[in-house]
Amino acid sequence: MSNNGKRIGVVLLNLGGPTSELAVRSFLENLFGDQDIINLGGGRFQTRLAKVIAKFRYKKVAEKYREINACPNGCQGSKYCPNRRDKVISDCCSPINSLTELQRRSLEKQLVDAWPEHFVKVYTAMRYWVPFDYDVFEEAVSDNIDHLVMLPLYPQFSFTTTGSSFRNWEEIRRGRPADAPQPAWQEYLVGQYHLNPKYLSALNQRIDERLQEDFTDEERSKVHLVFTAHGTPLSEVAKGDPYTKQIGETVDAVMKMRNHHETHWLGFQSRVGPSKWTQPNTEELVLRLIDYGVKHMVLIPVAFVTDHIETEHELNIELREVIEEENKHVEKMVISRGLNDHPDFLAALEDEISKKIGHITGTPVPVEEKAQTVPESED
């Protein structure tokens, strides 16, 4: 990594996940305390209610993380992880931690190789657990970064995810002491990249992996593709949140790449609370397809770029249990792997960075990619 040239930082923004049973409680408090993602009234009332919810839910949630524990042989997460710091082997750690760290390291190596004349560093800022965004903010300040790209690991823009992360980053900036060293960087925000050709290619290849590895030639002709994304309250859609529309655009673009060869469906998962959410619900959709006689499915997590509790447990464990409890039968239902460190996904991230600072690094965006990129939200 060069100490000459520009000092470039990239901050990968993600949800985060607990690293131990005790961390599950704190993680849930932070999650339910964020009015951007779950509106429980806001202010001190929501903070107190979040603590109550976390107190009664965390042990049950921790059991799920135990079933998908990602670090059985020691911490694979970031340097901020308490398990790494204390040399503890956790039996209750979310896969999102190690996989996001893998994405961070892989992307940093890629950018360092691409821009050897510059100092380049990639950070990870999680919203609800370590590494927290305020720690990463201070690290970037101490590294004297002069060009900083904020890159959400959410391809589709939502005020509840990307918007929440951007707003919290600004609150950190405004809340720092006046006598603290001030950031001198030029900041660039990536709003969304749900139609980036390389992102779409990575999704497409993940589907092909499952079709080739898990189904015979005869079975492939019967396979239905079930895209699944995190749901959102209809009240957010009514307010103008573009996430649901962009999910549909991503699915349409992937199927166009596949020449609409397979029958496909789109469902929404992870519904919370009594309010109305986007439909159809993934669980209900799958049960209905089984009733229709569909026996071969590939479930594709379209908005999740790392495997975590909503793919590894909600889809791969809970959904299978529901099918069994309902006395239904599906011959083959496989879950497409998350994008994780897929080379095309990493290339898509590099594309999005270059679109923002290509004038700094000397890597202009090809004309054909500019034409396929939708205008960005900078909220």
Say which residues have a Cβ less than 8 Å from residue 215's Cβ, sequence separation at least 6: 223, 296, 332
Q: What are phi and psi of 48, to 5 degrees?
A: -65, -40
Q: What is the pLDDT of residues 55-109, one digit of tens each?
A: 999 999 999 999 999 999 999 999 999 999 999 999 999 999 999 999 999 999 9
**What pLDDT does 274 receive?**
74
CATH label, 7-193+342-371, candidates 3.40.640.10, 3.40.50.1400, 3.30.565.10, 1.20.58.1030: 3.40.50.1400
Name the residue with tokens 């970031």: 78
For tokens 């707003």, the residue is 167
| Calpha distance 303→167 (Å, rounded) | 21
The two domains 7-193+342-371 and 197-335 share their CATH topology (first three levels equal):
yes
By CB atoms closer than 10 A (0-12, 13-18, 19+), residue 236 is buried
Burial class (CB in 10 A: 0-12, 13-18, 19+), 53: middle
Percent of the chain predicted with pLDDT > 90: 90
Averaged pLDDT, 165-185: 95
Asked if 249 and 210 count as a contact pair (C-beta separation under 8 A), the reply is: no
Q: What is the mean pLDDT of the chain?
A: 94
Confidence of residue 36 (pLDDT cuts 50, 70, 90): confident
Alpha helices in the chain (DSSP H): 21-32, 43-67, 82-86, 95-114, 133-142, 162-175, 197-214, 217-220, 234-238, 243-257, 282-292, 319-325, 343-361, 367-371
Residue type, 155: P
pLDDT tens readout for residues 279-321: 999 999 999 999 999 999 999 999 999 999 999 999 999 999 9
CA distances from 355 to 96, 195, 342, 348, 364 (A): 27, 14, 20, 11, 7
Yes or no: domain 197-335 corresponds to CATH 3.40.50.720:
no
What is the mean predicted confidence (pLDDT) over 343-360?
97
Rounded Cα distance, 10 and 110, in Å:
12
Arithmetic mean of pLDDT, 14-28: 97
Which of the four pLDDT bands, split at 50, 70 and 90, describes residue 206?
Answer: very high
Per-domain residue ranges of the chain:
7-193+342-371, 197-335
Q: Is the pTM of this model over 0.85?
A: yes
